[in-house]
Amino acid sequence: METVLAFVVGGLYAAGIYLMLRRSLVKLLLGLALLSHAANLLIFTVAGFHGDRPPLVPEGSEALAQPHADPLPQALILTAIVISFAVLAFGLALFHRAYREIGTDDLDRMKATDT
């Protein structure tokens, strides 16, 4: 499972960076989306899979029974997903406005503010 996910994460990073290197606003945004998903999956993978038992203390005992799933990475990813969706939604609106304002989605032609 870890091996498969490792390849998925690597593939997502590669695809994301490839998309970002194309010179189009839309592909840039899709690339950013893939990158943030790759990071989320990375957190999930790197924390490891320790069984599918929920981290609940059974009735009558004092401690968690091993193995149990680690709840924290899921909490982290949930937060990160919410944030990245919000930022992506803003990015979508911004890039749409930028496209209408500048009249092109070609990143190579957005050099007016470069130095």
Residues that bind other proteins in the complex, under the rule CB under 8 A: 20, 25, 28, 32, 35-36, 38-40, 42-43, 45-48, 72-73, 76, 79-80, 83, 86-87, 90-91, 94-95, 97-98, 101-102, 107, 110-115
Closest contact distance (angstroms) between CB of 62 and other proteins is 17
Residue 65 or 87 having the CB closest to other proteins: 87
Residue 60 or 87 having the CB closest to other proteins: 87
Residue 60 or 101 having the CB closest to other proteins: 101
AA letter at 89: A
60 φ, ψ to 5°? 95, -20
CB atoms within 10 A of CB 31: 19
d(CA 98, CA 67): 51
- Asked if 44 and 85 count as a contact pair (C-beta separation under 8 A), the reply is no
d(CA 36, CA 74): 15
Closest contact distance (angstroms) between CB of 84 and other proteins is 8
